[in-house]
Structure 1
Amino acid sequence: MASPGATKRLTKEYARISKSPPPFIIAHPSDSNILEWHYILTGPPDTPYEGGQYWGTLLFPPNYPFAPPAIRMHTPSGRFQPSTRLCLSISDFHPKSFNPTWEVSTILNGLLSFMTSEEMTTGSVRASEQERRLFAQRTRWWNSTGGGTRFSGNATPAGGSRGVGAIKSGDGGAKFRQEWPELDEENLRWLKERKIDLVTGAAPAAPHCLPEVAGLRRRPNTSATGVDAVVQGGQQARDVGQGLLGKHKWKILTCLILGYIMIARLLGDGNGE
């Protein structure tokens, strides 16, 4: 249970962060527990997380602001282990270094800054930039479907071996839906508009080009530009033309012979007159 001081402080902070949210950050306390806050970090531009929707929780101690919260990020990101307590200078791993003047916005700005760095700590993971971009593309799907379990019939209650506040993907997105109902509806519309498979998170396959058109595209492992690109494009066009000529050479030869016979007959008739 929150102390009167913690309740008063967090109520004021919620009013401030609602009125003037920091860039790429929104947050609110749970209706049932003011010590449990839910946040969304939007991946900033020019980072591997661009456009991603990263949901997590802050669990404050009853004596806040004299001790820091436990920090978790539930959405898989390629940066943190999902639903694992993060060891940061602003988290409950380092209570002695926490400054009581720091607020929720300070904590979340610090988390976002750490996320976009490459510094390692307890709860962080290594991944390539491409892997993190793929995670970013699937964040809305993961949040609103619980990793697809919402529509697969395999959803289980939230929580588990990672401690109080942990969220497993198998909860069917129930906890996210409870805390972010409007975002959940927006996510489902977004997924349906893009025809994302709600169970697997897979996007529809791109259509294939016809062979003749595909031949005009740049060949693999080439990087020609300028004049070289024009020459290469011309060669590819000739290759396609030669392919079509080879395919229809008998028809063309037959037409030439018939044409020759018709011309010979016309000339012969003219000489007879």
Structure 2
Amino acid sequence: MASKAAHKRLTREYKSISENPPPYITAHPSEANILEWHYIITGPENTPYHGGQYWGTLIFPPNYPFAPPAIRMHTPSGRFQPSTRLCLSISDFHPRSFNPAWEVSTILIGLLSFMTSEEMTTGSVAATETERKYHASRSRWWNSTGGGSNTRAGGPAQKGNIKAGDGGAKFRAEWPEVDKENWEWIKENKVDLATGCKAGSAGPSCGPQLGIAAGSGGQAHAVVDAVMQQRDAGRGWLFRNKLAVAGMAVFVYVLIARLLGEGKSTGS
């Protein structure tokens, strides 16, 4: 159960993110539990995730904002293991690095920034650009059908069992309007409900199998500056680059915190 401070803070943040959502991001708390938030990231232009619909959850602790949330992305992306807790400086893996001034929008901007980099961590995977585009093209189908589990023998799994496939029940409950749009898209594109293949696609898999690409990128926390400049052309520099500024602020804060921690350890 959320503390009074957490409830008040998250209520305020929901109002803020609803009135001024960050680019490519939408989020809301569950009606049944304000500590359980659901987000959708729309893949930015000029990335392998373009057009993808990536659904995930933030599970906040009762003492938020004095501790960070657990972060998961349920939709397969070729970047993260589905429904797996992600080890990020803004997640519950690193409570000492979390700044209580950070908000839901800050957390999700940081997640999008990390997603568009190649840095590896617990819960992330490496894949080719082709594989990530393949996942993006099937993301709407996956969200609204539970990865095709709505057609399997025996019916869908329990509503909360997202990882195993729930027939799309949980997504539909949290995103009814988006789910309706997805089903219209599925019908228009004649997508096979069991496989996610569009009509005319060759082969049973209609795409590449997920593989592991060699190597990993360095620390990258700025989200597609060129995309933001195109989207916000004519606006101020700070507005156009707010994702990069937020990402760099998170990176600098964590770096300073680690340096101070090492200094204390050396001094003792």
TM range, normalised to the smaller chain? 0.7 to 0.9
Deviations 1:154-183 (A, max 9, x none): 4111456xxxxxx22421011001100110
Q: Supply the distance in 2 between the matched residues of 1:124 and 1:26 (Cα, whole angstroms).
A: 22
Structure with the higher fraction of residues in helix conformation: 1
- The aligned counterpart of 1:125 is 125
Q: Which amino acid aligns with 1:114?
A: F
Q: Supply the distance in 1 between the matched residues of 2:104 and 2:200 (Cα, whole angstroms).
A: 42
Tell me by how many angstroms 1:126 deviates.
Answer: 0.7
Matched, 1:199 2:194: yes
Task: State the 4+ residue runs in structure 1 displaced beyond 2 angstroms.
Answer: 151-154
Aligned match of 1:187 in 182, 191, 208? Answer: 182
Q: Supply the distance in 1 between the matched residues of 2:173 and 2:190 (Cα, whole angstroms).
A: 24
Q: Which amino acid aligns with 2:158?
A: P
Q: Supply the distance in 2 between the matched residues of 1:121 and 1:96 (Cα, whole angstroms).
A: 18
- The aligned counterpart of 1:140 is 140
Deviations 1:57-111 (A, max 9, x none): 0000000000000000000000000000000000000000000000000000000
Q: How does 1:31-42 map to 2 (within 5 A)?
A: 31-42=31-42
Matched, 1:171 2:172: no
Q: Supply the distance in 2 between the matched residues of 1:60 and 1:99 (Cα, whole angstroms).
A: 14
Q: CA RMSD in A?
A: 1.3
- The aligned counterpart of 1:156 is 157
Q: How does 1:211-226 map to 2 (within 5 A)?
A: none
SS of residue matched to 2:165 = helix
- Given that residues 158 and 168 in structure 1 are in contact (C-alpha distance below 8 angstroms), is that contact kept between their aligned partners in structure 2? no
Q: Supply the distance in 1 between the matched residues of 2:27 and 2:95 (Cα, whole angstroms).
A: 22
- The aligned counterpart of 2:66 is 66
Tell me by how many angstroms 1:151 deviates.
Answer: 3.0
TM-score (norm 2): 0.73
- Going from structure 1 to structure 2, the CA distance change for 1:206 and 1:75 (only over 3 Å counts) comes to closer
Tell me by how many angstroms 1:206 deviates.
Answer: 6.3
Q: Supply the distance in 1 between the matched residues of 2:127 and 2:26 (Cα, whole angstroms).
A: 26
Higher-Rg member (1/2) = 1
- The aligned counterpart of 1:232 is none
Q: Which amino acid aligns with 2:82?
A: P
* Structure with larger RCO (C-alpha < 8 A, sep 6+): 2
Matched, 1:13 2:13: yes
Q: Which amino acid aligns with 1:194?
A: N
- 5+ unaligned residues in a row in structure 2: which ranges? 203-268
- Given that residues 147 and 169 in structure 1 are in contact (C-alpha distance below 8 angstroms), is that contact kept between their aligned partners in structure 2? no
Q: Supply the distance in 1 between the matched residues of 2:170 and 2:146 (Cα, whole angstroms).
A: 9
Q: Which amino acid aligns with 1:143?
A: N
- Going from structure 1 to structure 2, the CA distance change for 1:120 and 1:82 (only over 3 Å counts) comes to same
Q: Supply the distance in 2 between the matched residues of 1:141 and 1:169 (Cα, whole angstroms).
A: 16
Q: Supply the distance in 2 between the matched residues of 1:198 and 1:205 (Cα, whole angstroms).
A: 14
Q: Supply the distance in 2 between the matched residues of 1:113 and 1:19 (Cα, whole angstroms).
A: 22
Identity percentage over the alignment?
Answer: 73
Aligned residues: 201
SS of residue matched to 1:48 = coil
Shifted more, 16-25 versus 151-160: the winner is 151-160
TM-score (norm 1): 0.72
